Amino acid sequence: MDSKSLPKIELHLHLDCSLRWKVVRRFDPAVTESFFEKNFKAPAKCLDLPDFLACAQQGIQYLQTADQLQAVTLDLLEQLKEEGVLYSEIRFAPYEHIRRGLSPEAVVEAVLTALEEGQHTSGIRAGLLLCTLRELPSGPSLHTAQLAVRYRDQGVVGFDIAGNEADFPVEPHVEAFRHARENGVPCIAHAGEARGAEGIWEVLRGYQVERLGHGVRCIEDERLVEYLVDRQIHLEVCPSSNIQTNVFDTIADHPVDRLFRAGISLGINTDSRTLTNTTLEREYDLLERQFGWGKKEFLQCNLQALEHAFLPEGEKDHFRAHLRQAYQ
């Protein structure tokens, strides 16, 4: 199967973990390609999620000005175009990009400006997800949710929480999620990655999300799997990332095929194209080799991702038709 030529939907993609060397060297000519390969990409096998997240800081330091944010956004849309992505939701945490004086508002506006330009030049349709982080206090979380509300008609399509779920609780961010929901902003949460099924239950009860970033450790609780199927809560699955963060030892241990066969709605994503050193083409090829997936499975995953995308229904119809024709 030639996966590169197939159209795709990607809903779980971190802007600040998807920098390419050709863009970074524009900011800092001293960054050689060998330095980039060694320092901007995480090890193939990290100790755990916090170990993986620490590696992201190398790239984040080059995303502290409006020009840098815009350049990386435009380049990411070009990466998506190269892979035949039809629609993507790109996420990032504004509070990670204020270290050189930008306000969170200026950060969001810089990315939205580039996103609008890049959609015209690349032909990729994209929405922006604003993330808070587990390790942030409640104030910045609520402010990030307020930003999602403020910019929801300008390209922001949802609110998310990422970061270290293993060591930081749900409770400080409940108000932020309530604010987003009450103002019509769809919600997602990273869960079921560094913590097991109990962490997913906490997120579902505390945040009332429509999708789960990762969510793959739901496999540990049969009742939870049944709940996710019944409520049609979509999982944004990132296979290589889950191996890299040591959630599972090898791809053979990954439950993506079992979850798919159980009837859970899920899509396939990269998570972080640079940090994980992957593309959607590589993810598809990995699942084809390991689980024998073909066009039937990938079409269903893309249709399910599209169904749960934060996109107007009329636009979904157009993409739906495109996917069905291409995967025949």
Active-site residue set: 193
Q: What is the DSSP secondary structure assignment for residue 215, as one 8-state letter?
A: -
Q: Return d(Cα 276, Cα 143) in angstroms, integer.
A: 29
Residue 154 in tokens: 């300008």
Cα–Cα distance, 95 to 107 (Å, whole number): 8
* Contact between 174 and 207 (Cβ < 8 Å): yes
At 47, which amino acid appears?
A: L
Using the structure block, give the residue that is written with the tokens 């997120």.
203
Q: How far apart are CA 74 and CA 116, in angstroms?
A: 9
User: Rounded to an integer, what distance in angstroms lies between the CA atom of residue 146 and that of residue 138?
Assistant: 12
Q: What's the sign of the alpha-carbon dihedral 209, 12, 160, 275? A: positive
Give 288-294's long-range contacts (Cβ < 8 A, gap of 24+): 288/1, 288/3, 290/251, 290/252, 290/254, 290/257, 291/256, 291/257, 293/257, 294/1
Tokens of 220: 């540990």
Question: 155: alpha, beta or left, given left = phi > 0 and alpha = psi -120 to 50?
Answer: left
The rounded distance, in Å, linking the Cα atoms of 15 and 71 is 11
What does the CA dihedral 21, 42, 302, 249 come to, rounded to 10 degrees?
Answer: 160
Residues 234 and 265 sit within 8 Å (Cβ to Cβ)? yes
